[in-house]
């Protein structure tokens, strides 16, 4: 991993700055919205706009790249993000914020597509897994460290918005000055949503439901914190714990994923998250309990994304894995649009605790559906399962395809190793 960092440190530095800026954006808007008097339902509309923009941007970016190239797309979209971050503070109006969030979501999707394309191009078959793991760590560290910046200035002023804008602007330099020309962008053939559902109903339904959870955590955690009366320092720590849990549990869950029936792991993770909400919700007045809940729901939800992709891959041929990922990502994106909207309505009607109740309820739904699917067909043979590749819900289709390539390479290597082991045995058995 150190060799990967040595060869691509500038690219990872730029990605880290982008993640810090984006991680600060969601939390800061939640705090500033409360200062401006926006209630939870209004903030839910604003937060959902980001995910709608992200879904649209993921579809639009390949078209722009084919027309003007990676570098121009990256520079143009990153410039728009930087400008939008300043406009948040200058024009604190719900309609304008919603439009800016839509624009920022679209632009971040494009920026990530370009940056992840360069990362994929710089990786080799030998270090692809290390590059993917390092990218995941950079993403998590960026979002977690962004929460610490909240304590540097007043959320009601301009300073934090300027910091966000500067971070994104500065990220241009290491990325654009270090990368080689990106390869020609080629769209991957997609499977239809029905085809992906027929292959893995649990994968498709699970990703849709997971999208609402991820969007709730990313978009509404700071809104919950303000509604619950947490201080800025407490809010930053609470949000950080959500992502810290995802970073800590990503690799243990991935390790278990390659050694057991993945449906049992999906069921166990989601049931544990739902149960933690039931057990700890009566004590949510304690900030310590709030942080524990944040750690648990983040810890089980973030790895679930890669786990559901790996489970779906278990029923696919190698050549179909990348095609199926498009349908899974789309299902996640649609679910992400609705998550904040539903939480905003529930919080307005029944109070801030609905943040945890909603997430716990959706986790319970995934657990119940996983249990149901286990009665419908047998688990695939351990020899036929694909490898778990770490990837976060915030990643674009490029990163998921990057992960799919890694999973395919590992599966092919394992098949070749098995064939090599069988060949001598067959020769010895021959007369």
User: Can you read off the two tokens belonging to residue 304?
Assistant: 């679930």
Cβ atoms 165, 89 nearer than 8 A: no
For position 110, what pLDDT does the model report?
85
- Separation in Å, CA 386 to CA 84, 182, 415: 41, 29, 11
The winner for highest mean pLDDT among 74-78, 174-178, 358-362, 401-405 is 358-362
Please, what's the b/e burial string for 26-50 (b: 16 or more CB within 10 A of its CB; e: otherwise)?
bbbbbbbbbeeebebbbbbbbbbbb
Whether the per-residue pLDDT at 393 is higher than 80: the answer is no
Decide if pLDDT at 186 tops 70. no
Please say if the pLDDT value at position 169 is more than 70. yes
Range in 18-22, 49-53, 138-142, 396-400 with the lowest mean pLDDT: 396-400
pLDDT digits (tens, 9 = 90+) for 300-321: 998 898 888 888 888 877 667 7
CB-based contact 160:167 (threshold 8 Å)? no
pLDDT digits (tens, 9 = 90+) for 188-197: 566 778 888 8
Higher pLDDT, 14 or 388: 14
Calculate mean pLDDT across residues 94-98: 94
How much helix, strand and coil, in percent to the nearest 5, is found in the chain? 85, 0, 15
pLDDT score at 189: 61
CA 68 to chain centre: 27
pLDDT tens, residue by residue, 116-133? 777 777 766 666 667 777
Contacts of 164 (CB under 8 A, 6+ apart): 21, 24, 25, 28, 85
Spell out the domains of the chain, with CATH numbers in brackets: 2-420 (1.20.1250.20)
Q: pLDDT value at position 138?
A: 86
Backbone φ, ψ for residue 313 (5° rounding)? -60, -25
Cβ neighbours, 10 Å, residue 367: 21
Inform me whether the pLDDT recorded for 425 exceeds 60. Answer: no
Over the stretch 247-278, which tens digit does the pLDDT of each residue have?
Answer: 888 888 888 887 788 899 999 999 999 999 99
What's the rounded Cα separation, in Å, for the pair 74 and 178? 14
Relative orientation angle of helices 287-313 and 201-227, to the nearest 10 degrees = 160
Nearest alpha-carbon partner for 138 in 291, 294, 304, 10: 10
Binning pLDDT at 50, 70 and 90, where does residue 177 land?
A: confident
Asked if 212 contacts 345 with a C-beta cutoff of 8 angstroms, the reply is: no
Q: Please state, in angstroms and rounded to a whole number, the distance separating the CA atoms of residues 303 and 215.
A: 15
What's the CA gap between 83 and 100, in Å, rounded?
10
Q: Which two tokens stand for residue 401?
A: 């395809």
């Amino acid at each position: 991993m150190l060799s990967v960092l040595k060869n691509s440190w500038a690219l990872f530095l730029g990605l880290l700055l982008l993640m810090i800026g984006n991680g600060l954006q969601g939390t800061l808007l939640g705090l500033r919205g409360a200062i401006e008097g926006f209630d939870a339902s209004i903030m839910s509309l604003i937060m959902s706009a980001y995910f709608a923009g992200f879904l649209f941007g993921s579809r639009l970016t390949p078209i722009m790249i084919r027309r003007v190239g990676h570098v121009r797309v990256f520079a143009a979209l990153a410039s728009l993000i930087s400008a939008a971050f300043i406009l948040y503070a200058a024009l604190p109006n719900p309609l304008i914020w919603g439009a800016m969030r839509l624009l920022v979501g679209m632009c971040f999707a494009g920026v990530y597509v370009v940056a992840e394309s360069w990362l994929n191009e710089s990786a080799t078959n030998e270090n692809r897994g290390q590059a993917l793991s390092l990218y995941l760590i950079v993403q998590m560290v960026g979002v977690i460290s962004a929460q610490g910046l909240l304590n540097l200035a007043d959320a009601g002023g301009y300073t934090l918005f300027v910091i966000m804008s500067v971070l994104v602007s500065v990220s241009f330099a290491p990325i654009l000055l270090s990368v080689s020309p990106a390869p020609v962008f080629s769209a991957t053939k997609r499977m239809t949503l029905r085809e992906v559902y027929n292959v893995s109903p649990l994968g498709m339904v699970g990703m849709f439901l997971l999208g609402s959870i991820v969007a709730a955590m990313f978009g509404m955690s700071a809104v919950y914190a303000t509604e619950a009366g947490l201080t800025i320092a407490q809010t930053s720590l609470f949000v950080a714990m959500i992502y810290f849990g995802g970073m800590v549990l990503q690799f243990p869950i991935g390790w278990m994923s390659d050694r057991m029936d993945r449906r049992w792991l999906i069921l166990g993770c989601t049931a544990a998250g739902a149960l933690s909400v039931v057990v700890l919700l009566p004590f949510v007045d304690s900030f310590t309990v709030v942080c524990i809940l944040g750690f648990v729901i983040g810890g089980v939800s973030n790895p679930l994304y890669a786990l559901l992709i790996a489970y779906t891959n278990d029923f696919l041929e190698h050549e179909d894995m990348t095609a199926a990922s498009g349908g899974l990502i789309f299902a996640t994106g649609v679910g992400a649009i609705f998550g904040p909207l539903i939480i905003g309505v529930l919080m307005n009607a029944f109070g801030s605790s609905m943040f945890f109740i909603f997430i716990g309820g959706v986790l319970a739904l995934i657990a119940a559906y996983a249990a149901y699917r286990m009665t419908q067909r047998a688990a695939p043979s351990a020899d036929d399962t694909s490898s778990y590749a770490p990837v976060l819900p915030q990643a674009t289709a490029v990163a998921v395809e990057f992960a799919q390539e890694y999973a395919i390479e590992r599966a092919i290597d394992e098949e070749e190793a098995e064939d090599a082991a069988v060949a001598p045995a067959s020769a010895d058995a021959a007369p």
